[in-house]
Amino acid sequence: MAELEGLEFGKSDFVLLDEVTMEQFMENLKLRFEKARIYTFIGEVVVSVNPYRHLDIYGKEVIEDYRGRELYENPPHLYAVADAAYKAMKRRAKDTCIVISGESGAGKTEASKYIMQYIAAITNPSQRAEVESVKNVLLKSNCVLEAFGNAKTNRNDNSSRFGKYMDINFNFNGDPTGGHINNYLLEKSRVAQQQEGERNFHSFYQVLRGGSDGLLKSLYLQRDPAEYAYTSQGASITLASNNDSLCHKAVMAALKVIGFTTEEISSIYKILSTILHLGNLQFTSDGEHVVLVGEDTVKHISELTSTEPENTRKALLYRTVATGGGEVIEKGHSEQEASYGRDAFAKALYERLFAWIVGRINSVIQVMDYNPALHGKNTVIGVLDIYGFEIFDNNSFEQFCINYCNEKLQQLFIELILRQEQDEYQREGITWQNIEYFNNQIIVDLVEQPHKGIISVLDEACLTAGKVTDTVCLDSMNKKLGQHPHYTSRKLCPADKTMDFNRDFRIRHYAGDVTYSVEGFLDKNKDPLFQDFKRLMYNSSDPVLKEMWPDGKMSITEVTKRPLTAATLFKNSIIALVDKLACKEPYYVRCIKPNEVKSPLLFDDGRCQHQVAYLGLLENVHVRRAGFAYRQPYARFLQRYKMTCEYTWPNHLMSSDQEAVEAIVNQHGFEDDVAYGHTKLFVRTPRTLFTLEQERAALIPILVLFLQKVWRGALARMRCRKIRAIYTIMAYYKCYKVKAHFWEVERRFTNVRNMADYGKSVEWPTPPAALVQFHRITQHLYRRWWARQLIKNIPPSDMAEVRAKVAALSALSGERVDWGYSRAWERDYLTNVSFSLGYSFRTLTLHSMQDFYIDLFSGHLNESKDRALLITDKHIYRLEPKKHFKVQKRISLDSVVGVSVTSGSDQMVALHTASQDDFLVHLQRGQLNPNQDRVGELVGSLTDYFTRTTFIALKTRFSFSFFMKVIMIRRMLSTKTRQDGLV
């Protein structure tokens, strides 16, 4: 640590003192205070001195300096211990806690706020909204709890008048996911009465001085706190470090951020105003009865609590009791009883309001739907900010409980830091010089021991029937505890005039002797509140008030168990708190108050030395200096640092983990700074551990890269195997799909030979993608087979007609509706007419002239004309039947390049030639069948012939404009010309 701060600032760790004496300890503490170095280490314990001024050591830059650094890497600071607790929690998945202790005014509350701010600042780097919400609620809860739980005392302007322990839950990433707040022993007696120079709780002054005019008017309040009995004493006291008006605005904003609804906030301030109005209620006697002074105040209280005015009045003036026979009677109060009941009601209202606010905050920040299997291990950091040791001029029941709590915490400190440390050295066989320290177990037993302790005596007095006074209780304590070395009273020590007879008793605490006044002990321990007030609040129409008073549901005649006393409840909660802290890894902040006048310059040596003594800081230095700063089981140490030694990475071959640890220590030359226990390695100085951590941090990136490389290779091989498996499965699946398709085709077409249509009606299965082309070929083959099955039954003499019809189907199907496919085609229509002898002679003549070999088509043209058409395999002839079928015109068939027809039912056909000497023929329909279509026969015969002889299909066109032009021309021609059947 000398490397981090110069010697002019003193020793930053008390373990480094030349001699561990009280004089040197105090000299070093004073020097650091004067140099504004308010934090000093004792090992992992931070000693904090209240500077009573603002120091610029808490900004963002400072937070970054301490983030992720080792405890001894930076100068002492609250941030160092907060980061150490956070790292321990995150690295080892172990719950930790930070215990902040010290007397009132030593700066515990401020320390807890800085620790919370640091944890909030270093978590949630990804800025997730749900985590930010939890952090905001945790931070804002401090503001609200301070307003309702803190007050100005003679020692501290912002003294916590309750104990607070906050658990912060973290997920496996180290981000806060929620939390829980426990509150202990709110000093509710402060509501009705304060000591000279002190104030009531901040919340009352904040609403009076910071509330808007409209709010105060709705609450029937005046702005001056002197107008109210409960706040009049502190009305003239102003706080230099606390502006009530600004704090009120901050509290209102914090309540909204936390999640309080507008109605809930309204109920909170209605309850505060109700308490102020209750304090101003006065009672007077008109002889036999007690009456209220000021009916308006009662009406205001009834309106603010949403109750009936008559019921409120009766609860303040009467007490309803049930007799043994079940009869219910009303008993009037005396003035003293009515005043007592009023104050008890006001204190109970505030106490339950505070408990409800804490519970409401917990409902917002509690971890919801947590599943360790899904979300990882849930770890906790606890922060304890609880009342410090108090010695006032008049110490009552509250100071007794507070000082008992500090005794329990001191016992925990002794158990964890002093006794357990020395016991561990003995168990591990480490050479050790025993350190003497004061064990305060005897004082704890004085307070809490069953049947003998002070709390047991108080409970026994509260349970005793009849009139038992505080004096009778004091006598009982004198009898049972008179021989105890840490208890005395004026009766046991008559010569001690600092105590009064029948009133005072004294306990010799670890922090000093405290004299307690027994007056009021029994009443405060019983904590009595008339049942009438509980029923009144339970029957309120305000849901918040109703929720605060569930015990008001009981009827008057209902018999219940006697409730536990206040001291017993507090004892049980403190024992539970200590057990909760004991199961966590503790980190300590020990706060010291430098003076009583809150001066940033004065260092009261006597006052500080007293605190150092009772906090056991000197003994702590002795233990740390004589012992070891760090200890760890061999297996865990080896697991963390084995990569720093070549003989232990990745696994050692030695006979035991201890030998492997020795190899690590020897390789780094730390053998003179360690000791070997039976199960653990003990490291004397933090510098050794810090060096190991540095080397480990340097190796981690190398190891991470190596592991990433190996893991990525493993992932790639796994992926390769998966891909291979996928392709194998795909291949087998494709094979299966192909086979399945074949099987299905085979199944469907097995019996098609026996079907009437040879399977034409059978639906083909959908082929897989790999068989689409094969499927088309198969269908084509099937169609050819199917056609073959049909054709093989056709006589050879009919095949020419079949081929012609197939050709016509290809050329005309879809364009002409009827082209004669349903009738038999004769093709040679001229032979069958009456003058066929002339035609036969003509065809013989042409045949003998080798003008043709086969006639493809013959027939008459339009019946009104004396023309005929003959198409052979060589020429196209226009014949004149009346002139013995004389050839009128002849063109070569080879010159025909196309045919044009219409899509209608007319018999007009255009034959196109290469020389553009086109034929337009108008075929004659049959004489016996005037609807006979011969266009298809002509086109089919020509197309079939051309396809078979030239292997080129004759082009067939469907033309409309051409024929329309021809018809118009024909109309314009002369009669003689129009009698021609061929143009």
Residue 179 annotated as binding? Answer: no
Residue 902 annotated as binding? Answer: no
141 an active-site residue? no
What whole-number distance in Å separates Cα of residue 190 and Cα of residue 153? 10
Q: Are 506 and 499 in contact (CB under 8 A)?
A: yes
For residue 769, with 0-12 CB atoms within 10 Å meaning exposed, 13-18 middle and 19 or more buried, which class applies?
exposed
Q: Are 145 and 57 in contact (CB under 8 A)?
A: no
Annotated catalytic residue within 187, 198, 390, 407: 390
Compute CA distances 521 → 191, 401, 472, 480, 567, whole Å: 17, 11, 11, 17, 10
Amino acid at 467: K
Nearest CA to 871 out of 895, 885, 886, 892 is that of 892
12 an active-site residue? no
Residue 642 annotated as binding? Answer: no
Nearest CA to 82 out of 132, 117, 134 is that of 117
Residue 962 β-bridge partners: none
Residue 103 annotated as binding? Answer: yes
Annotated catalytic residue within 210, 341, 388, 820: 388
Residue whose tokens read 């300890």 = 25
- The strand pair at 504-509 and 159-160 is best described as unpaired
105 an active-site residue? yes
The DSSP code sequence of 670-703 is -GGGEEE-SSEEEE--HHHHHHHHHHHHHHHHHH
552 an active-site residue? no
Annotated catalytic residue within 104, 200, 379, 396: 104
| Token representation of residue 891 | 């063109």
For residue 891, with 0-12 CB atoms within 10 Å meaning exposed, 13-18 middle and 19 or more buried, which class applies?
middle
153 an active-site residue? no
Q: Are 680 and 658 in contact (CB under 8 A)?
A: no
Nearest CA to 891 out of 950, 851, 857 is that of 851
What whole-number distance in Å separates Cα of residue 207 and Cα of residue 224? 11
Query: 493: helix, coil or strand?
Result: coil
Residue 106 annotated as binding? Answer: yes
- The strand pair at 45-49 and 39-42 is best described as antiparallel
390 an active-site residue? yes
Annotated catalytic residue within 28, 123, 142, 156: 156
Nearest CA to 403 out of 350, 447, 368, 359 is that of 447
Distance of CA 776 to the CA centre of its chain: 58
Amino acid at 128: R
What whole-number distance in Å separates Cα of residue 927 and Cα of residue 929? 6
Residue 104 annotated as binding? Answer: yes
Give per-residue burial for 631-664: e unless 16+ CB within 10 Å, then b: bbebeebbeebbbbbeebeeebeeeebbebbbbb
Length of the chain: 983
Annotated catalytic residue within 10, 43, 105, 859: 105
How many Å is the Cα radius of gyration of the chain? 55
What whole-number distance in Å separates Cα of residue 194 and Cα of residue 522? 19
What whole-number distance in Å separates Cα of residue 168 and Cα of residue 115? 12
813 an active-site residue? no
The DSSP code sequence of 151-183 is E--SS-TTEESSEEEEEEEE-TTS-EEEEEEEE
Query: 25: helix, coil or strand?
Result: helix
SS (H, E, C) 273-301: HHHHHHHCCEEEECCCCEEEECHHHHHHH
Annotated catalytic residue within 12, 50, 112, 159: 159
H/E run at residue 117: helix 108-122
- Would you call the peptide bond into 650 cis, given omega within 30 degrees of 0 as the criterion? yes
388 an active-site residue? yes
As annotated, the active-site residues are 104-105, 109, 156, 159-160, 388, 390
Residue stretches of the annotated binding site? 102-109
Residue stretches of the annotated binding site for ATP? 102-109
